[in-house]
Chain A
Amino acid sequence: MTQPAQVTKPLPEADDASKPFWDGAMEGRLVILRCADCKAWRMPWRHHCDQCLSDRSTWEQASGRGVVRTFGIMHQKYHPAFEVPYNVTIVELAEGPRITTNLVGVSNADIRVGMPVVVDWERHSDITLPKFRPA
């Protein structure tokens, strides 16, 4: 068996459509889409509002606060760059949309559904990722 080459975690790359989200992240601001007509917030990026099907939207700064909707502790090594175990967590933002993320600053054993959390930024060279920590 040869050693596999060093593999890094899949880091997202901004595309034109989602650039305001990633630019906001670089500045430490959680910026998400909001329907210009019915005012519903939405995640992730999509052209149409799923509530009213409007194609008019704006990027607005969200509070960065939310609660743990649910989570799991991954033990299966699906991807060589992920050290197991690690948590996979869905945070429900105060504005309503849910985001798939990881909790930081808390041991996996202490994570609870309903726990209040706040965004925390994981910085990489050309991209910053929204993670969450207990509020």
Chain B
Amino acid sequence: MAHALRNAGAISGLGITPMGRIYGKSATEFAADAVRAAIADSGLKHDDIDGLLINAGITGNIGGGITLGLQNYLGLKNLRLLNHMNAAGSTAAQMVQYATMAIANGMARHVVCVFSDAPLTEGSKTGAAYGGAGRIAPRPRGMAGLYAAAGYFGANTGYALAAQRHMAMYGTTQDHFGIIAVGQRQWATMNPMAQMREPITMEDYHASRWVIEPLHLLDCCLVSNGAVAVIVSSADEAKSMAQPPVYIRGMGQGHPGDTGRAGNDAETETGAKIAARTAFGMAGVGPEDVTQCQLYDCYTYTVLVTLEDYGFCKKGEGGPFVEDGKLGPGGSLPTNTGGGELSAYYMWGMTPLSEAVIQGRGQGGDRQAKNDVILCTGNGGTLAYHGALILSPHAN
């Protein structure tokens, strides 16, 4: 018997603001723009919204992030579901999961899930918001100060160290990372929303400056101001709404834990392994059925290791798996077809989710790929938190 949550919910609305170095709006204002667009897109009325889940992005940590006050800013009354969620980059997928479970159990009908962020200010460095060095005390207290004393700064460091471990264990090369960056940029040239639309070559990739070896600048995601909102409704209701429904066929999470000691392989074995079993099991599909992927791509390496952990290839074989360019336009496994976080925009887990909705509706234009089974993932921390959605335009 099919899982009770298989195709119980659907994405019925999508709102995306302009992305990138866009100044003069707060995270709350970006969020309102995205929510207004999502409601209009769905054909619902303002009063139809009875659930709101929010995720604040990096401004939730460094200041200026959206809060539960967004409900009143949006004038949403008599909500039946409300929460501020944060499992880092896995949150977007998780918001959709909790919304679906609530709807399937009669606790809400139309739930808005919104991510908003505005870390960039005029003249600021792109990486500053995530580097954290500016917030380190001159004398950090206790053993936690060992990180700063060693010059371990920001998300880039954690992922560089994880990628290095994979390279040492399995012979993964810089070329393997590069082909991912080049392929996604090719996709981005077809996405008018993308921040980076100039094609790049492997030579450009290798010539791009080191951030922290083994990561070049072109291995690292963008940083964006902007917001994305999606609306989750029941599959039955979504059928008669304004947009083609994108059914939520399967869902899963995986959070492997890292106790920082021998025996733990958190750098190379991610929560995707755990999430895959739940999500594929619920959906009744396997990696061989997936026709396109929208994978969280904070770094090129994240894409490679995620493909392994979903079983598209064996552990350690992600490099050889991607090296024929199969993830790019014209390849056998179209992946991050909007350009992803590397080339389009960085809205945490809303980047893969927003593109998955566009693709699931068949609204991808020149970059539309086969959309029967879409694997959409979110990843947060240093490969610590993982959320998965299996999406499809078909409710069977």
- Taking Cβ atoms with an 8 Å cutoff, the residues of A that contact B are 8-15, 17-18, 21, 40-45, 50-51, 69-76, 78-79, 82, 85-86, 88-90, 92, 96-102, 112-114, 129-130
Additional A-B contact list (14), CB under 8 Å, known A44-B142, A76-B211: A12-B145, A12-B148, A13-B139, A13-B145, A15-B141, A17-B142, A43-B143, A70-B168, A72-B160, A72-B161, A76-B210, A78-B132, A79-B133, A113-B164
Is residue B209 within 8 Å, beta carbon to beta carbon, of the partner chain? Answer: yes
Cβ distance B210 to chain A, nearest Cβ, rounded Å: 4
Whether A51 contacts B143 by the Cβ 8 Å rule is no
A-B CB contact pairs (8 Å), 17 listed: A10-B139, A12-B141, A12-B142, A12-B143, A15-B142, A42-B261, A43-B260, A44-B142, A70-B164, A76-B131, A76-B212, A78-B151, A78-B153, A85-B213, A96-B261, A96-B262, A96-B263
Q: Contact check, A88 vs B145: say whether CB atoms are below 8 A apart.
A: no
Q: Tell me if B143 and A72 are in contact (CB < 8 A).
A: no
B157 at the interface (CB under 8 A from A): yes
Q: Which residues of B are found within 8 Å of A14, using beta-carbon distances?
A: 141-142
Given A70-B165, A74-B212: A10 touches B138 (CB 8 Å cut-off): yes
B213 adjacent to A12 (CB under 8 Å): no
Q: How far is the CA of A67 from the CA of B275 in the complex (A)?
A: 31
Assess whether B139 is in contact with A12, with CB atoms less than 8 Å apart.
yes
Q: How far is the CA of A62 from the CA of B136 in the complex (A)?
A: 29
User: Interface residues, chain B, CB within 8 Å of chain A?
Assistant: 127, 131-133, 136-154, 156-157, 160-162, 164-165, 168-169, 209-215, 259-263, 267
Task: Please give, as numbers and ranges, the residues of chain A lying within 8 Å of B261 by CB-CB distance.
Answer: 40-43, 92, 96-98
* A-side contacts of B154, CB under 8 Å: 78
User: CA A73 – CA B141 in complex, angstroms?
Assistant: 25
Residues of A within 8 A of B157 (CB): 72, 74, 88
Residues in chain A near residue B149, CB distance under 8 A: 9-12, 129
Given contacts A42-B261, A100-B152, is CB(A75)–CB(B142) below 8 Å?
Answer: no
Contact indicator A12/B146 (Cβ below 8 Å): yes
A11 touches B145 (CB 8 A): yes
Q: How far is the CA of A14 from the CA of B139 in the complex (A)?
A: 9
Q: Which residue of B lies closest to A67 (CB)?
A: B262
Question: Assuming the A-B contacts A45-B143, A70-B162, A76-B127, are A82 and B151 also in contact, with contact meaning beta carbons closer than 8 angstroms in the complex?
Answer: yes
**In the complex, A10→B152 CA distance in Å?**
11
Chain B residues, Cβ within 8 Å of A90: 161
Contact A72 B214, beta carbon cutoff 8 Å:
yes
The residue of chain B having its C-beta at the shortest distance from the C-beta of A44 within the complex is B143
Q: Please, which residues of chain A bring their CB within 8 A of the CB of B139?
A: 10-13
Q: Is the CB of A44 within 8 A of B212?
A: no
